[in-house]
Amino acid sequence: MEITGVELRRIAMPLVSPFRTSFGTESHRDVLLVRVVTPDAEGWGECVAMAEPLYSSEYVDGAAEMLRRFLIPALPAGADPQAVGPALAPFKGHRMAKAALETAVLDARLRASGESLGRFLGATRERVPCGVSVGIMDSVPELLDAVAGYVEEGYVRIKLKIEPGWDVAPVQAVRERFGDDLLLQVDANAAYTLADARHLARLDAFGLLLIEQPLANDDLVQHARLARMLGTPICLDESIESAEHAAAAVSLGACSIVNVKPGRVGGYLEARRIHDLCRASGVAVWCGGMLETGIGRAANVALAALPGFTLPGDTSASRRYYATDVTPPFELADGHLAVPTGPGIGVEPIPEILREVTTSAEWIAR
């Protein structure tokens, strides 16, 4: 199966409502899609880099240039997903760009063989429980209304974004309004320092599942110190970019839970390695989200069906973020999403919708 060419396609996807975190607010997504074409099949991958380097050092323009200039020329001629990682390894970083390319190759290969991504990865479930991530709001009443809507929709877990000045009060309000039975966690996106430990310990009173990435992404040692000062389990997100990072964090005691985002770690093969390592170490994992379209969401749902993913992920329904998705929408049913069973990622873009949202497309022949 020879790769005949790769398409880089940019699409503009407005969000149904602005999504605010400690590092910024998004009202639309500038999404880079990668399409790998072979004589037998084509495959899709979604790059989760943001428009600006706020979540990580990667950003969508940079990812496109990296793919165009370095990664696609280095791609092996044959569509062997296992060979993609080693071929791209000489180029430092740029895991989101690498993940998009590897996923597109993997999707093409699996479509040609008729195998689903879930089966290839080792999924053991036909559906996965879904949580939802709730951004920082202008007021507590606005937050309570938003959470009430997601609870009514059936989401089994609520995650609140927090930052200094928006933490204890909103968490307390949500817990008091919805009771102790609501699965509740918080995500700081590295907004605090170890000097905030006593303040963060106030969150212990609310029975949270976890506090996600409270400190800087490159500070495992401080996370280990903080973990000994809090009753709430620490989960790492931005700090974990590889299985090696996960092993280091676990051995240091920097976390007891890991958020696995395939784009952040370089793709679904590395995500599976992290899953396997954490499962062997007795560390829970769950699948994070980056406001993906149906293309990225389909692959994430397949990953979340692996046995070690024991906590609900941020694999929300399509309408949580997009009024119209580029694939048939993912619909919540009893708090769960069905794992795609078709070949590859199991979904394809709807041509007329894809054309409508496309802002540019570039074909790179091989």
Instruction: Judge whether 161 counts as a catalytic residue.
Output: yes
Retrieve residue 95's tokens.
């895991």
Catalytic member of 92, 98, 159, 161? 161
Alpha-carbon separation of residue 132 from 123, 210, 314 (angstroms): 22, 14, 5
Q: Which DSSP state fits 323?
A: S
Q: How far is CA 311 from CA 55, 264, 354, in A?
A: 23, 19, 33
Angle in degrees, CA 255, 118, 125, rounded to 5: 75
Q: Are strands 131-134 and 127-129 parallel, antiparallel or unpaired?
A: unpaired
DSSP code for 91: S
Q: How far apart are the first and last CA of the chain?
A: 13
Known active-site residue 159 = no
* CA–CA dist 5, 218 (Å, integer): 37
Number of Cβ atoms within 10 Å of the Cβ of 337: 24
* Residue 331 · residue 154 · CB < 8 Å: no
From 92, 98, 159, 261, active-site residue:
261
Residues belonging to the active site: 161, 261
